[in-house]
Structure 1
Amino acid sequence: MDLKTASALRRLRLVSTPEAVSFLLLLVASVLKRTTDFNAVPVMGAIHGALFVIYGLFWADAWNRTRWPLGRAALYFVLAVLPFGGFYADKLLRRESEASVIATRAQREGVVGG
Protein backbone atom coordinates (compact mmCIF):
# COMPACT_ATOMS: atom_id res chain seq x y z
CA MET A 1 0.00 0.00 0.00
CA ASP A 2 1.37 3.37 -0.90
CA LEU A 3 1.54 6.30 1.47
CA LYS A 4 -1.45 8.14 -0.05
CA THR A 5 -3.68 5.10 0.28
CA ALA A 6 -2.61 4.55 3.88
CA SER A 7 -3.28 8.23 4.60
CA ALA A 8 -6.74 8.01 3.03
CA LEU A 9 -7.64 5.03 5.25
CA ARG A 10 -6.25 6.79 8.30
CA ARG A 11 -8.29 9.94 7.61
CA LEU A 12 -11.45 7.85 7.20
CA ARG A 13 -10.73 6.05 10.46
CA LEU A 14 -10.07 9.30 12.29
CA VAL A 15 -13.42 10.80 11.30
CA SER A 16 -15.53 7.62 11.70
CA THR A 17 -15.62 7.66 15.51
CA PRO A 18 -16.41 11.38 15.95
CA GLU A 19 -19.10 11.03 13.27
CA ALA A 20 -20.63 8.09 15.17
CA VAL A 21 -20.51 9.99 18.47
CA SER A 22 -22.14 13.05 16.91
CA PHE A 23 -24.89 10.86 15.47
CA LEU A 24 -25.63 9.35 18.87
CA LEU A 25 -25.60 12.80 20.49
CA LEU A 26 -27.99 14.05 17.82
CA LEU A 27 -30.35 11.18 18.62
CA VAL A 28 -30.17 12.04 22.33
CA ALA A 29 -30.76 15.73 21.54
CA SER A 30 -33.80 14.77 19.46
CA VAL A 31 -35.29 12.79 22.33
CA LEU A 32 -34.56 15.62 24.79
CA LYS A 33 -36.19 18.13 22.45
CA ARG A 34 -39.40 16.14 22.48
CA THR A 35 -39.41 15.35 26.20
CA THR A 36 -38.01 18.56 27.75
CA ASP A 37 -37.51 22.22 26.93
CA PHE A 38 -33.85 21.56 26.04
CA ASN A 39 -33.20 21.96 22.31
CA ALA A 40 -29.67 21.19 21.15
CA VAL A 41 -30.81 19.74 17.82
CA PRO A 42 -29.76 22.75 15.70
CA VAL A 43 -26.23 22.69 17.12
CA MET A 44 -25.82 18.91 17.09
CA GLY A 45 -27.42 18.73 13.65
CA ALA A 46 -24.87 21.16 12.25
CA ILE A 47 -21.96 19.36 13.90
CA HIS A 48 -23.15 15.95 12.77
CA GLY A 49 -23.88 17.24 9.27
CA ALA A 50 -20.37 18.65 8.92
CA LEU A 51 -18.79 15.43 10.18
CA PHE A 52 -20.98 13.36 7.86
CA VAL A 53 -19.93 15.44 4.85
CA ILE A 54 -16.27 15.06 5.85
CA TYR A 55 -16.78 11.31 6.28
CA GLY A 56 -18.36 11.16 2.81
CA LEU A 57 -15.43 13.00 1.23
CA PHE A 58 -12.87 10.82 3.01
CA TRP A 59 -14.89 7.70 2.11
CA ALA A 60 -14.85 8.66 -1.58
CA ASP A 61 -11.10 9.32 -1.45
CA ALA A 62 -10.43 6.00 0.30
CA TRP A 63 -12.62 4.13 -2.19
CA ASN A 64 -10.81 5.76 -5.09
CA ARG A 65 -7.37 4.91 -3.71
CA THR A 66 -8.04 1.40 -2.39
CA ARG A 67 -10.21 0.27 -5.32
CA TRP A 68 -12.59 -1.50 -2.94
CA PRO A 69 -15.24 -3.70 -4.54
CA LEU A 70 -18.65 -2.03 -4.65
CA GLY A 71 -19.95 -4.14 -1.76
CA ARG A 72 -17.17 -3.13 0.63
CA ALA A 73 -17.43 0.53 -0.35
CA ALA A 74 -21.20 0.40 0.19
CA LEU A 75 -20.70 -1.23 3.60
CA TYR A 76 -18.44 1.60 4.76
CA PHE A 77 -20.99 4.16 3.55
CA VAL A 78 -23.96 2.40 5.17
CA LEU A 79 -22.06 2.19 8.45
CA ALA A 80 -21.97 5.99 8.48
CA VAL A 81 -25.76 6.18 8.61
CA LEU A 82 -26.31 3.54 11.30
CA PRO A 83 -26.09 4.25 15.01
CA PHE A 84 -22.84 2.75 16.29
CA GLY A 85 -21.84 2.03 12.67
CA GLY A 86 -18.90 4.43 12.78
CA PHE A 87 -17.38 2.46 15.64
CA TYR A 88 -17.61 -0.74 13.61
CA ALA A 89 -16.20 1.05 10.54
CA ASP A 90 -13.21 2.14 12.62
CA LYS A 91 -12.64 -1.46 13.72
CA LEU A 92 -12.82 -2.78 10.14
CA LEU A 93 -10.60 -0.01 8.79
CA ARG A 94 -8.00 -0.65 11.50
CA ARG A 95 -7.89 -4.34 10.52
CA GLU A 96 -7.63 -3.47 6.84
CA SER A 97 -4.82 -0.98 7.48
CA GLU A 98 -2.87 -3.41 9.62
CA ALA A 99 -3.27 -6.21 7.07
CA SER A 100 -2.08 -3.90 4.29
CA VAL A 101 0.96 -2.83 6.28
CA ILE A 102 1.85 -6.46 6.97
CA ALA A 103 1.43 -7.39 3.30
CA THR A 104 3.55 -4.43 2.18
CA ARG A 105 6.33 -5.30 4.61
CA ALA A 106 6.27 -8.94 3.51
CA GLN A 107 6.44 -7.88 -0.13
CA ARG A 108 9.42 -5.59 0.56
CA GLU A 109 11.24 -8.35 2.41
CA GLY A 110 10.53 -10.86 -0.32
CA VAL A 111 8.39 -13.12 1.84
CA VAL A 112 5.86 -15.01 -0.24
CA GLY A 113 2.60 -16.01 1.42
CA GLY A 114 1.54 -19.56 0.99
Structure 2
Amino acid sequence: MMNTALGRFRVIGIVEGISYLVLLGIAMPLKYWLDVPVAVKVAGSLHGLFFVLYLLALAHVTFQKRWSILKVAGAFIASLLPFGNFVLDARLKREQP
Protein backbone atom coordinates (compact mmCIF):
# COMPACT_ATOMS: atom_id res chain seq x y z
CA MET A 1 0.00 0.00 0.00
CA MET A 2 2.88 2.36 0.71
CA ASN A 3 4.51 1.59 -2.65
CA THR A 4 2.50 4.16 -4.60
CA ALA A 5 1.75 7.84 -4.16
CA LEU A 6 -1.95 7.04 -3.90
CA GLY A 7 -1.31 4.39 -1.24
CA ARG A 8 0.81 6.77 0.83
CA PHE A 9 -1.84 9.47 0.44
CA ARG A 10 -4.52 7.07 1.69
CA VAL A 11 -2.46 6.05 4.75
CA ILE A 12 -1.57 9.63 5.63
CA GLY A 13 -5.23 10.60 5.13
CA ILE A 14 -6.39 7.95 7.62
CA VAL A 15 -3.77 9.00 10.18
CA GLU A 16 -4.67 12.68 9.69
CA GLY A 17 -8.37 11.87 10.04
CA ILE A 18 -7.78 9.95 13.27
CA SER A 19 -5.67 12.80 14.69
CA TYR A 20 -8.45 15.27 13.82
CA LEU A 21 -11.05 13.16 15.61
CA VAL A 22 -8.77 12.80 18.64
CA LEU A 23 -8.27 16.56 18.71
CA LEU A 24 -12.00 17.31 18.43
CA GLY A 25 -13.38 14.41 20.46
CA ILE A 26 -10.84 13.93 23.23
CA ALA A 27 -8.39 16.82 23.55
CA MET A 28 -10.86 19.69 23.25
CA PRO A 29 -13.29 18.25 25.83
CA LEU A 30 -10.34 17.65 28.16
CA LYS A 31 -9.30 21.27 27.76
CA TYR A 32 -12.69 22.88 28.20
CA TRP A 33 -14.43 20.50 30.60
CA LEU A 34 -11.56 19.25 32.77
CA ASP A 35 -9.12 22.16 32.39
CA VAL A 36 -6.33 20.08 30.83
CA PRO A 37 -4.95 22.39 28.12
CA VAL A 38 -1.85 20.26 27.49
CA ALA A 39 -4.04 17.72 25.66
CA VAL A 40 -4.82 20.25 22.93
CA LYS A 41 -1.18 21.28 22.67
CA VAL A 42 -0.03 17.71 22.11
CA ALA A 43 -2.91 16.56 19.91
CA GLY A 44 -2.97 19.86 18.02
CA SER A 45 0.75 19.73 17.28
CA LEU A 46 0.53 16.16 16.03
CA HIS A 47 -2.52 16.96 13.95
CA GLY A 48 -0.73 19.96 12.45
CA LEU A 49 2.19 17.76 11.45
CA PHE A 50 -0.11 15.16 9.91
CA PHE A 51 -2.06 17.87 8.07
CA VAL A 52 1.13 19.22 6.49
CA LEU A 53 2.10 15.66 5.48
CA TYR A 54 -1.41 15.24 4.05
CA LEU A 55 -1.00 18.37 1.91
CA LEU A 56 2.40 17.22 0.67
CA ALA A 57 1.03 13.77 -0.16
CA LEU A 58 -1.93 15.42 -1.91
CA ALA A 59 0.45 17.48 -4.04
CA HIS A 60 2.48 14.39 -4.88
CA VAL A 61 -0.51 12.27 -5.90
CA THR A 62 -1.98 15.22 -7.82
CA PHE A 63 1.08 15.54 -10.03
CA GLN A 64 1.61 11.82 -10.41
CA LYS A 65 -2.02 10.93 -11.21
CA ARG A 66 -2.80 14.24 -12.93
CA TRP A 67 -5.86 14.85 -10.79
CA SER A 68 -8.28 17.58 -11.82
CA ILE A 69 -8.62 20.72 -9.74
CA LEU A 70 -12.08 19.53 -8.63
CA LYS A 71 -10.68 16.26 -7.29
CA VAL A 72 -7.90 18.11 -5.48
CA ALA A 73 -10.41 20.56 -4.00
CA GLY A 74 -12.60 17.65 -2.90
CA ALA A 75 -9.66 15.96 -1.18
CA PHE A 76 -8.74 19.21 0.56
CA ILE A 77 -12.31 19.82 1.72
CA ALA A 78 -12.53 16.22 2.95
CA SER A 79 -9.59 16.91 5.26
CA LEU A 80 -11.48 19.78 6.88
CA LEU A 81 -14.58 17.74 7.72
CA PRO A 82 -14.75 15.23 10.57
CA PHE A 83 -14.85 11.74 9.01
CA GLY A 84 -14.21 13.31 5.58
CA ASN A 85 -10.92 11.49 5.09
CA PHE A 86 -12.60 8.15 5.74
CA VAL A 87 -15.24 8.81 3.08
CA LEU A 88 -12.52 9.92 0.66
CA ASP A 89 -10.48 6.80 1.43
CA ALA A 90 -13.42 4.56 0.55
CA ARG A 91 -13.67 6.26 -2.83
CA LEU A 92 -9.93 6.17 -3.47
CA LYS A 93 -9.79 2.48 -2.55
CA ARG A 94 -11.64 1.73 -5.79
CA GLU A 95 -8.95 3.58 -7.77
CA GLN A 96 -5.98 1.78 -6.33
CA PRO A 97 -4.84 -1.39 -8.16
Relative to the length of structure 1, the TM-score reads: 0.77
Match of 1:19 in 2: 16
> Could you tell me how far 1:19 is from its partner in structure 2?
0.5
Root mean square deviation, CA, Å: 1.2
Match of 2:87 in 1: 88
> Could you tell me how far 1:38 is from its partner in structure 2?
2.3
> Could you tell me how far 1:31 is from its partner in structure 2?
2.2
Aligned-partner Cα distance in 2 for 1:73–1:37: 38
Matches within 5 A, 1:30-41: 30-39=28-37, 40-41=39-40
Runs of 5+ in structure 1 lacking a partner?
1-5, 102-114
Aligned-partner Cα distance in 1 for 2:89–2:17: 10
> Could you tell me how far 1:25 is from its partner in structure 2?
0.7
Q: Secondary structure at the match of 1:75?
A: helix
Are residue 10 (structure 1) and residue 38 (structure 2) matched?
no
Aligned-partner Cα distance in 1 for 2:88–2:73: 12
Residues 18-68 of structure 1: CA deviation (Å, up to 9, x unaligned): 100100111121122111122300000010000000000000000111111
Q: Name the larger-Rg structure.
A: 1
Percent identity between matched residues is: 40
Q: Secondary structure at the match of 1:12?
A: helix
Aligned-partner Cα distance in 2 for 1:70–1:38: 41
Residues 65-95 of structure 1: CA deviation (Å, up to 9, x unaligned): 1111111111011111111011112111111
Match of 2:62 in 1: 63
Query: Runs of 4 or more off by more than 4 Å in structure 1?
Result: none
Aligned-partner Cα distance in 1 for 2:92–2:9: 8
